[in-house]
Structure 1
């Protein structure tokens, strides 16, 4: 590092700002607070590792400055961060896995206790879609009484033939409860992005920079005109089973599309600008948690957040028919 300049090495080793780069005491205090908060993150080391992939960790370039992104979401700037080795589920948690959890614990999800959840209108029978209460700002979402993880489209629907599909209608709180039961935890946002990139540097998607390389669909997202016409050119109108598409370079499936995935961090559009570069975590508190990866409802016309660097947020008690999760575990 030269006086007055902040650089990183060619090997992408993160460099935290030195005194010459710190413009104020506030920035230094924020950096120290972030570092201490990251070091205090609880570890999870007792969970089984079946179905998990061990990742070596290390430094990578997180975020994007690409014009296709959403600057207001805090996708940029590109910065070098480093994560410790960890294990991550190869797939989103499935209905079958969540069933084991519920049978073992008697757990009831927040949607079950509340009595309703949001379902995409296009997934409903026409009569129910016509009569359901629509969300004002996003009328393609319907409040459906009786919709929850066992009844993803409301009363009369079932998961009997969907054991290998991701569980949905799970809030962040529900996902956290499952992770604790399994001896695991939810991934930090940095861990999630490191895993999703699959070893590629600044690629747009987990498999590379083309959405459909050679005309091949690599993820489950919306094709057509949202929300009225779904051409299902990728082979799926709704949620698909896990492992329906090829894995990324780390052997992880559906890191883009299919279902949004909860992360551990509270959401902030700018916290990362002042955060530690080693094992960063989100702010200490907030009103919404981070979600990553996009879902089968994402379309480039309004929400191309199936990109690796894309991020969004939702309150931790929220649930819907396109949100799931996967877990991680620390190395012993």
Structure 2
């Protein structure tokens, strides 16, 4: 297994926020300069869904797909308070151009699809401004650490997507419209360049949090996570409860090949960290100097 060495290196000291700009190599600094950042202030927000909201979402989703199961939506409950320190998140998903620099600088293998397909060479997915796909969780976190950041925690991702208003979608509560808000439901049958759907951005300008590609989060996936300690505010939560390098990780946001039911910002999904596919990419976070607002 090509990543077996990383299983020992990672040791779950994952969030490399202590890396200073001066410590980054030249290529990492160049790549960092190409990333636009959006600041998220310190503060609390409502994470997840109420039982009524999850039931409504499931009922609506079943009208479109008989493959969706109730437990997928139950994992969003109960809704609870989360308090996060200030952070910055990349405006766009990491692109092929940015990831290509990483490969050249570090010698990391090129991305592969679920069955070993060379997505890196497929013209539907390899444009410079398209999000990189075919990356494992370990690939994505390695890139993030290379530039001195991290994958977003599940809570950071949802805060970026929902704001403090508990929006259903990144742009608001109105259902997505094809070719306006996001790339989904195989309308293009491939990824699209990042930032193409301005109407689908958050009010502070974060693009493509719905559709285009699923996005890796730092956390292990646990469907019952919200049920524990939901009566008190969780502070900067990060779920690495089992410390298992093979345990499924959280992915968020939906992708180009799924329907609108998967674009809701509270929806939690999973994928195995050593696997990769042409529907999963990532974005990155780093600490923010902003004070609470």
Higher relative contact order (CA 8 A, sep 6+): 2
Match of 1:263 among 211, 217, 222: 217
**Equivalent position of 1:98 in the other structure:** 99
**C-alpha separation in 2, matches of 1:150 and 1:107:** 13
**C-alpha separation in 2, matches of 1:244 and 1:307:** 19
Shift in Å at residue 54 of structure 1?
1.4
Q: Deviations over 1:280-328 (max 9, x none)?
A: 111422510000000011114xxx1210000111110110111000000
Structure 2 residue runs without a partner (length 5+): 1-12, 22-31, 59-68
Asked if residue 185 in structure 1 is aligned to residue 141 in structure 2, the reply is no
Match of 2:236 among 249, 254, 279: 279
Shift in Å at residue 57 of structure 1?
2.8
Correspondence list, 1:10-89, <5 A: 42-44=15-17, 46=20, 48=32, 50-65=35-50, 66=53, 67-69=56-58, 72-73=71-72, 74-89=75-90
Asked if residue 208 in structure 1 is aligned to residue 172 in structure 2, the reply is yes
Rg larger in 1 or in 2? 1
Aligned residue-pair number: 241
Match of 2:57, SS state, is coil
Correspondence list, 1:226-241, <5 A: 230=186, 232=187, 236-241=188-193
Q: Structure 1 43/278 Cα, relative in aligned 2: closer, same or farther at 3 Å?
A: farther
**Equivalent position of 1:314 in the other structure:** 271
Q: Deviations over 1:195-229 (max 9, x none)?
A: 011x352221111111247x87211111xxxxxxx
Query: Do 2:250 and 2:271's aligned partners in 1 also have CA atoms closer than 8 Å?
Result: yes
Correspondence list, 1:102-113, <5 A: 102-109=103-110, 111=112
Query: Do 1:211 and 1:217's aligned partners in 2 also have CA atoms closer than 8 Å?
Result: no
Query: Do 1:109 and 1:174's aligned partners in 2 also have CA atoms closer than 8 Å?
Result: no
Per residue, is there more helix in 1 or in 2? Answer: 2
Query: Do 1:271 and 1:283's aligned partners in 2 also have CA atoms closer than 8 Å?
Result: no
Asked if residue 252 in structure 1 is aligned to residue 202 in structure 2, the reply is no
Query: Do 2:132 and 2:281's aligned partners in 1 also have CA atoms closer than 8 Å?
Result: yes
**C-alpha separation in 1, matches of 2:111 and 2:95:** 18
Query: Do 1:179 and 1:327's aligned partners in 2 also have CA atoms closer than 8 Å?
Result: yes
Q: TM-score, normalised by structure 2?
A: 0.75
Shift in Å at residue 85 of structure 1?
0.2
Q: Structure 1 266/152 Cα, relative in aligned 2: closer, same or farther at 3 Å?
A: farther
